[in-house]
Protein backbone atom coordinates (compact mmCIF):
# COMPACT_ATOMS: atom_id res chain seq x y z
CA UNK A 1 0.00 0.00 0.00
CA UNK A 2 1.43 3.38 -0.91
CA UNK A 3 1.09 6.63 1.04
CA UNK A 4 -1.73 7.97 -1.16
CA UNK A 5 -3.85 4.89 -0.46
CA UNK A 6 -3.06 5.11 3.25
CA UNK A 7 -4.18 8.74 3.38
CA UNK A 8 -7.66 7.61 2.37
CA UNK A 9 -7.87 4.70 4.79
CA UNK A 10 -10.11 4.46 7.81
CA UNK A 11 -9.09 4.64 11.46
CA UNK A 12 -8.63 0.88 11.78
CA UNK A 13 -6.32 0.63 8.76
CA UNK A 14 -4.40 3.73 9.89
CA UNK A 15 -3.91 2.25 13.36
CA UNK A 16 -2.73 -1.05 11.91
CA UNK A 17 -0.28 0.71 9.60
CA UNK A 18 1.19 2.68 12.50
CA UNK A 19 1.47 -0.42 14.72
CA UNK A 20 3.20 -2.34 11.92
CA UNK A 21 5.72 0.48 11.31
CA UNK A 22 4.11 1.35 7.97
CA UNK A 23 3.76 4.73 6.33
CA UNK A 24 1.24 7.22 7.66
CA UNK A 25 0.62 10.95 7.40
CA UNK A 26 -1.22 11.61 10.65
CA UNK A 27 -1.84 10.16 14.07
CA UNK A 28 -5.33 8.99 14.92
CA UNK A 29 -7.21 10.91 17.59
CA UNK A 30 -8.59 8.47 20.15
CA UNK A 31 -10.84 9.64 22.95
CA UNK A 32 -11.75 7.48 25.89
CA UNK A 33 -12.90 7.86 29.43
CA UNK A 34 -12.71 5.78 32.56
CA UNK A 35 -15.35 3.85 34.39
CA UNK A 36 -17.22 5.88 37.02
CA UNK A 37 -15.64 3.79 39.80
CA UNK A 38 -12.16 4.54 38.49
CA UNK A 39 -12.85 8.25 38.24
CA UNK A 40 -14.11 8.24 41.83
CA UNK A 41 -10.94 6.49 43.00
CA UNK A 42 -8.74 8.99 41.17
CA UNK A 43 -10.71 11.89 42.64
CA UNK A 44 -10.35 10.43 46.13
CA UNK A 45 -6.62 9.91 45.62
CA UNK A 46 -6.11 13.49 44.41
CA UNK A 47 -7.99 14.94 47.39
CA UNK A 48 -5.84 12.87 49.77
CA UNK A 49 -2.65 13.79 47.88
CA UNK A 50 -3.42 17.53 47.94
CA UNK A 51 -4.14 17.42 51.69
CA UNK A 52 -0.97 15.50 52.47
CA UNK A 53 1.40 17.46 50.19
CA UNK A 54 -0.12 20.93 49.67
CA UNK A 55 3.21 22.50 48.60
CA UNK A 56 3.14 20.51 45.35
CA UNK A 57 -0.07 22.23 44.22
CA UNK A 58 0.68 25.94 44.59
The 3 state secondary structure assigned to the chain is CCHHHHHCCCHHHHHHHHHCCCCCCCCCCCCCCCCHHHHHHHHHHHHHHHHHCHHHHC
Q: Residue 46: what pLDDT? A: 87
Report pLDDT for 57: 55
What does the pLDDT look like over 5-46, one tens digit per residue? 545 678 788 888 889 999 888 887 777 777 888 888 988 988
Q: What is the pTM of this model?
A: 0.38
Given a cut of 80, whether residue 58 has pLDDT beyond it is no
Alpha carbon 47 to its chain's center: 24
Who wins on pLDDT, 37 or 54? 37
pLDDT given at position 20: 93
Amino acid sequence: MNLVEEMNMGNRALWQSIMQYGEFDCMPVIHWTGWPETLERWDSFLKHYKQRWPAHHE
